[in-house]
Structure 1
Amino acid sequence: MSHNDPSAVVAAFLQQRFPHVEIAHDEDIFALGLVNSLFALELVMFVEKTFGFTVPSDEMRIDSFRSIDAISALVDRQSATV
C-alpha cells in the first residue's frame, strides 16, 4: 500500500483499530461514536507520522478528520503545499 493513496492508508489504519466496524470513506467517524479525545489525538499523530507533515493549526478541526475522505483531502492539501 502506497502513500500515493491516502484514503487506502487511512482506511487500513481505521480497520486495524476497529476491525468489527465497516466504515465507508464518506462516513462520519465522530457520528459513529468511534472517536474520543484520545483517539482524535492518535489520529492526528498517525497522519503526521505517516504522511510526513505537521497538521497546521487552521486544519486542526473536526471537519478535517471527520471521515476517510476528509483526512485524505487534508493530506492532499498539505502535499500540494510542499
Structure 2
Amino acid sequence: MQAIQAKIKTFLSKFFGNHDLQPDEDIFSLGFVNSMFAMQLVLFVEQEFQIAVENEDLEFENFRTINSIANLVERKTAVLAQ
C-alpha cells in the first residue's frame, strides 16, 4: 500500500507545487482539481497500475485523497488477481 501511495503522491505533487500533500487530505477542497486534471488523474491510475477504471468507479470518493485512490487501486488489483 505504501508503494502505491508514494506513486500517487509523486504524480499529484507535480500539480500541487510546494504543498506537502497528506494521505488523507482532500485534493478537491484544495481547489487544484478541475475536469482536465480529473481526467489526467484517471489516466495516470489506469496506466501506472494497469487497471481499468470503470464508470462505476468514477466517484469523487474514490479520488478525493491519496488514501482513497490507493484503496481503489488495491480493490481493482485484488479483483484482477482472482
**Please, what TM-score do these two structures have when normalized by structure 2?**
0.90
Cα distance in 2 for residues equivalent to 1:34 and 1:62: 14
The residue number in structure 2 matching 1:18 is 16
Cα distance in 2 for residues equivalent to 1:48 and 1:17: 18
Query: Which structure shows the bigger proportion of residues in helix conformation?
Result: 2
Q: How does 1:1-82 map to 2 (within 5 A)?
A: 5-82=3-80
- Cα RMSD of the aligned pairs, angstroms, is 1.5
Report the secondary structure of 1:5's partner residue: helix
Structure 2: give runs of 5+ residues left out of the alignment.
none
Partner letter of residue 8 of structure 2? V
**Please, what TM-score do these two structures have when normalized by structure 1?**
0.90
Report the secondary structure of 1:55's partner residue: coil
Alignment: residue pair count:
80
- Tell me the CA shift for residue 40 of structure 1: 0.4
